[in-house]
A and B are shown apart, each in its own frame.
Chain A
Amino acid sequence: MQFLISLHINPAVLDALTDEEKAAIGGGHGAFIEALKKSGELITTQALVDPSQAVVVSVSNGQPVVTDGPFLESKEFLGGFYLIDCEDKQRAIELAAQIPDAAIKGLGVEVRQVMFADGQLEA
């Protein structure tokens, strides 16, 4: 079963962390990725640039309109994700709990099953 574990970040929460705490998060993700690769459960993982760099695209009267900034007016943004293939939902939850973000108040780790997939997996 494939699951997307999405990481919802809050820039204000991240800014308030000490350098040691930030380094611990980075190290935690590194170790998590290595473990997932070894167990054969990682499909891919990606992290996104700061939400301030996002643009929203809409089409009005056939003309694209581009607006600077993220779509959601929220304190939390999608910061990145893990796409995994594991035994069942229980295992996905078990894995999600190993992500350092899950232990930090104000950051969200969400698990959802994949329903449809297509395209080249090997980049």
Chain B
Amino acid sequence: MTAPPFEDLLRELTPRVLGTLVRRYGQFEGCEDAVQEAVLAAAVQWPGEGVPNNPRGWLVTVASRRLIDQLRSDHARRERESATATEVLPEDVPDTDDTLVLLFLCCHPTLTAASQTALTLRAVGGLTTAEIARAFLVPEATMAARISRAKQRVKAAGSSFSLPDGPEREERLRVVLHVLYLIFNEGYTASSGSRLHRADLAREAIRLTRTVHGQLPEDGEVTGLLGLMLLTHARRRARTTAAGDLVPLDEQDRTRWDRELIAEGIELVKAALAGPTLGPYQLQAAIAATHADAVTAKETNWPQVQALYLILERIAPNPMVTLNRAIALAETEGPQAGLELLSTLDSDPRMTGHHRLLSVRAHLLEQTGDPAGAYEHYRRAAKSTASLAEQRYLESRAGRLRPPPA
């Protein structure tokens, strides 16, 4: 789905208009509402009347008026003096790009991930509440309440409208990247409902990550995350059948992969790995690049994938990483080696009954020539997943191994 041109323009301008307003008037909360109203007004007026000559100025003016109207009515309600102090419209508005500052604010650590993603998509992504609600399959009122609550929390946390310094900046940037990663995944793992709108989220996440990369081109993890997204997004046409069934990596038609995105992604990975630091997104991107390099699944450089997972496991230990390494290990040293590594996860409470552990074990048992064990694990995995597409896939794998009726 390609958005109409004015929609792309609106989304690009939103954070810049919001930044301008917050710098003029303070109070992120009220400014964000005013900008959202200006964006809605533009979406109604621009298609008919045409995009104004200075769209950014138009949005700043409309948003400022809305904000002042709101301030006046707030004042009136509180029976105070008229709000003369805020009546002056900004004359010349410096076009500073505050996208990063806004991202740090929207991804404030006191917010839940669900609130961070919603607020980021609205205030920085320029999406309307209705669009975000549709993407997350919740009613608009639910999403509106969530965004409003998130802004109250940001306000209560007393955040200033500036980039944090030193180690805090580094820490907060990791949160921003994680939120962008979550938005991308939400679009990528279309588990239910309207697939179209959720795919749009992947596109949004890539667009926002590109913006961050544009502002922080030297940050290896930002570069790595963008590379990871592009290399993953490149497989989107091959990862499901026309009927919506999942196609595992080794069975995908690689001629359907998006070569242009892959080329760009690989360049990003090279640039990221050449830098002085090595982080989890860079490593995941390097793994995705290794897969992208293989013309057929058989030609995959599994020793390299295994080695990269091993480094990832050391710098960012996580049972899911170990699980993925077991798959790579099975490819290089045989399914038994993979199963042995999997058994180290059995005592991890985070993995108890996890459908991924069950399905990988099923897959490796199938390779060792234990169809009964594989059948049993595929069935249990199918029951454990919350994704309908994944469940169909696991049921079909189990179906191939169904024991003959006694």
Contacts and interface: CB of A to CB of B under 8 A. Distances in A.
Interface of A: 1-2, 37-44, 85-87, 113-118, 121-122
B146 A43 contact: no
Contact of B146 (A2, A40, A116): A40
Q: Most chain-B Cβ atoms within 10 A of its Cβ — which of A37, A40, A42, A86?
A: A40
B143 interface: yes
A86 B138 CA distance: 11
Contacts of A43: 138-139, 142
A38 B149 contact: yes
A122 B139 contact: yes
B139 A87 contact: no
Q: Interface SS of chain A: helix, strand, loop or mixed?
A: loop
Contacts of B142: 40-43, 85
B193 interface: yes
Contacts of B149: 38-40
Contacts of B147: 40
Nearest to B137: A117
Interface string B101-121: 000000000001111001000
A53 B113 CA distance: 43
Interface of B: 112-115, 118, 136-149, 191-194, 386-388, 391
Contacts of A42: 142
A27 to B, nearest CB: 21
Q: Interface SS of chain B: helix, strand, loop or mixed?
A: helix
20 contacts: A39-B146, A40-B115, A40-B144, A40-B145, A41-B142, A41-B146, A42-B142, A85-B114, A85-B138, A85-B142, A87-B113, A87-B114, A113-B386, A115-B191, A115-B386, A115-B387, A115-B391, A118-B192, A118-B194, A122-B141
Nearest to A86: B114
Contact of A39 (B137, B145, B387): B145
A2 B142 CA distance: 12
Given A87-B112, A115-B387, A116-B388, A38 B139 contact: no
Contacts of A44: 139
A87 B150 CA distance: 14
Contacts of A38: 145, 149
A11 B159 CA distance: 51
Given A43-B138, A86-B114, 19 more contacts: A37-B145, A38-B145, A38-B149, A39-B146, A39-B149, A40-B146, A40-B147, A40-B148, A43-B139, A85-B137, A87-B112, A113-B386, A115-B192, A115-B386, A115-B388, A117-B192, A117-B193, A122-B140, A122-B141
Contacts of A40: 115, 118, 142-149
Contacts of B140: 122
B306 to A, nearest CB: 31
A29 B174 CA distance: 39
Contacts of B391: 115
Contact of B136 (A37, A85, A87, A114): A85
Nearest to A123: B139
Contacts of B141: 37, 122
Nearest to A85: B138
B387 A2 contact: no
Can you list the 4 inter-chain pairs with the closest CB atoms, starting with the nearest?
A: A40-B146, A40-B145, A121-B139, A116-B192
Contact of A118 (B112, B118, B193, B386): B193
Contacts of A2: 137-138
A121 B197 CA distance: 15
Nearest to B139: A121
Contacts of A1: 386
A116 B114 CA distance: 19
